[in-house]
Structure 1
Amino acid sequence: MSPLVFLPPLVFFGLAALFLIGMQRDNPDALPSTRVGGAAPVLEGAALGSNPQLTDALLAEPGVKLVNFWASWCAPCRLEHPILEALADEGVTIYGINYKDDPGNAQGFLDELGNPYTAIMTDEGRTAIKWGVYGVPETFVVDGNGQVTLRFAGPITQEILAHTIRPALQAAAGQ
């Protein structure tokens, strides 16, 4: 019997093993981030109206905080907004970066839905590039040393809050 007879089953089992290994990854949809484990990138932007402006000094202050990239034209941002409001009501520090938005529309969004942000800045895209943002909404957890410990792309849902954001906040706080 020729050894080539065993080649098709070996190829099949090899591919099946690779498939199974690939299925065991934690989250195959997660986008990699070069920012996780590094210092929060420098901010470049302006204040949004009369809201307190997000600065590098605020990000460097002690305590865990969320940095949320959002826009008034972003439907998923509208969906996650009540969750951000609830987190802010719990005392979580949330900083907002308004991405490529008209300032009047952004302020109108906050006037309509509430403002969960301790401080806000506008961004024409430079800061988002430095942070590795693919699109809005995106949320980062920053620890008390100014290190990015989590990047989450997409709207925060109750499930994401419970299984991803809260554990990351606790880990960043050293709990």
Structure 2
Amino acid sequence: MQEAIIRSATVNDAERLLEIYSYYVTDTAISWEYDVPSVEEFRGRIEDVLKKYPYLVVEENGVIYGYAYAHPFVGRAAYDHSCELTIYLDKDAKGRGYGRKLYDALEAQLKEMGILNMYSCIGDPVEEDEYLTRNSELFHQHLGFTKVGTFYKCGYKFGRWYNMIWMEKIIGEHR
């Protein structure tokens, strides 16, 4: 059995990554999209990220079990030393350490790029339900992120309101 590897995503991974992501769109309030994007749109999203930021997959025995990528935080030049992160794991692949492996590799690459602040925007339940728990917040906290803000009842999905939180991890010195 081969150990999990982290590698750069390619547009050829789009179908499998979309398969992973689709569950989060249709069955959870983790993604606030209502409709699953097309494979073509998802390929375009991967291409856009790869122009400037790392987009990584975790793969074991030839099967992709998750992905993580960085993207612009706010999108103005003054924020160029900051970025936002996104991560999704196959719904049946939790608890195997894939999330940590992806984020550790992503953080290392971002440091090399001169990124100092990493942010994560996370759906946060007003009350935990079958669509959203606090697992993502706890995962990020475990990796050294700190909650820095809450937007109350700003997302609406499955006939209910959800909060959104921002979490931050400082990975470099601000000189």
Which structure is larger by alpha-carbon Rg, 1 or 2? 1
Q: Structure 2-normalised TM-score?
A: 0.28
Name whichever structure is richer in helix by fraction. Answer: 1
* Structure with greater contact order relative to length (CA < 8 Å, sep ≥ 6): 1
By percentage of residues, which structure has more strand? 2
Q: TM-score, normalised by structure 1?
A: 0.28
